[in-house]
Amino acid sequence: KRLFNFCAGPAALPEAVLQTARDELTDWHGKGLSVMEMSHRSDEFVSIAEQAEQDLRDLLSIPSDYKVLFLQGGASQQFAQIPLNLLGEDGSADYIDTGIWSRKAIEEASRYGHINVAASAREYDYFAIPGQNEWQLSADAAYVHYTPNETIGGVEFNWIPEVGDKPLVADVSSDILSRPLDVSRFGLLYAGAQKNIGPSGLTVVIVRDDLLGKAHSKCPTMLDYSVAAQNGSMYNTPPTFAWYLSGLVFQWLKAQGGVEAMERINGAKQRKLYAAIDGSELYSNPINIADRSWMNIPFRLADDRLDKPFLVGAEERGLLNLKGHRSVGGMRASIYNAVPEAAVDALVAYMAEFEKQHG
Ligand code: PLP
């Protein structure tokens, strides 16, 4: 029996996708072998790969002057790969600090050039996003990097920064495909797959053509976006099974009505959960209301001695992985696309029941 999984990542996958993968596991489309056992250069796998790319392009209306790359190394590798590709030999870039993931990106990029932290949420204790009027962008930045959704802290931009003619670079690991996004506003988008795309092991990069071919002379071949682009993300063996499974998720998303439908469903899910938190005496979420994440909702109990009984009771009711990140404490409910509204309903009902007993 499948339970409700609120894990931040690797996260829940749509049950229908897992069922298709199971049905096709040992014999993909009557070919007598599994996807895991195919050459990545076979007609069969190339058709799987191309279909996945096309479906992602359709879902996000990705313009034709962008490449979609299916890479490895996780979003964390992008923290280095981005400056190696975009900073040039001695460049600088602007970064916005809104939490743990943007700080990791800043730290890594600082190894490759001058990084100007153009704005920081530190003065808001990372509970709010600094408005664009507080940003101090520099004239010579090669690009501007930000993290639209901070998976751990639970803040999310509900607006796209205006950065003039600079390429805007965004880590969309935990909010890609959760609602419509105007890709044309960005130079580069990247996401580790294991939240809203598919299983771990795959990283999706969407990059505008004019940003290719600028890699540092010492950039490893494997990390050069233009090499990946020229080779259809198959310069070496790609993570074939993760790519295939992500393709199934894209098809599932299309069948649900695409990102517009996800926006409606995710909107309803987050409204219900925040209403339950805000309407209670026991639970609280400290994030500035306009900056609250739709995907990752941290909340605390008024007395942290209740954390353990809360988690035990949740598990007894089939509500998994609600423990907050170790750096934040409390609880966190990650409610990505594959987490159904019924899961939020069950969580909200349990929270009310627990508050009645312990509040
Ligand atoms: N960026 C964000 C916003 C994340 O949520 C995560 C993972 O949780 C990462 C980066 C790191 O991703 P990976 O584990 O794929 O390197």
Tokens of 141: 């930045």
Q: 257-358: what fold? A: Aspartate Aminotransferase, domain 1 (3.90.1150)
Q: Evaluate: CB of 157 within 6 angstroms of ligand 1.
A: no
Nearest ligand 1 atom, CA 77: 16
Q: Evaluate: CB of 171 within 6 angstroms of ligand 1.
A: yes
Under a CB-based contact definition with an 8 Å cutoff, are residues 118 and 108 in contact? no
Enzyme catalytic residues? 101, 171, 195
Q: Is the pLDDT of residue 330 over 80?
A: yes
Q: What 3-state class would DSSP assign to 204?
A: strand
Average pLDDT of every residue of the chain: 97
Q: Is the pLDDT of residue 291 over 90?
A: yes
- Which residues lie closer than 8 Å to 171 by C-beta, 6 or more apart? 75, 78, 101, 102, 105, 145, 146, 147, 148, 190, 191
Q: Is the pLDDT of residue 195 over 90?
A: yes
Under a CB-based contact definition with an 8 Å cutoff, are residues 175 and 148 in contact? yes
| Domain definitions of the chain by residue range | 16-255, 257-358
The pLDDT tens digits of the residues spanning 91-146 come to 999 999 999 999 999 999 999 999 999 999 999 999 999 999 999 999 999 999 99
The pLDDT tens digits of the residues spanning 213-264 come to 999 999 999 999 999 999 999 999 999 999 999 999 999 999 999 999 999 9
Give the pLDDT mean for 21-30. 98
For ligand 1, atom 15, which residue shows the shortest CA distance? 74
Residues facing 320 on adjacent strands: 5
For the chain, what's the residue count? 359
Structure confidence at residue 359 as a pLDDT band (50, 70, 90): confident
Q: Evaluate: CB of 173 within 6 angstroms of ligand 1.
A: yes
Nearest ligand 1 atom, CA 8: 8
Question: Rounded CA gap, 225 and 228, in Å?
Answer: 5
Asked if the 16-255 domain carries CATH number 3.40.640.10, the reply is: yes
Ligand 1 centroid from CA 239, angstroms = 18
Give the pLDDT mean for 169-180. 98
Under a CB-based contact definition with an 8 Å cutoff, are residues 124 and 288 in contact? yes
Structure confidence at residue 1 as a pLDDT band (50, 70, 90): confident
Which runs of consecutive H residues, i.e. helices, occur in the chain? 15-23, 43-60, 74-86, 100-109, 225-230, 240-256, 258-278, 307-316, 341-358
Between 43-60 and 240-256, two packed helices, what is the crossing angle to 10 degrees? Answer: 40
Question: Rounded CA gap, 156 and 161, in Å?
Answer: 12
Q: Which helix or strand (DSSP H or E) is residue 317 part of?
A: none
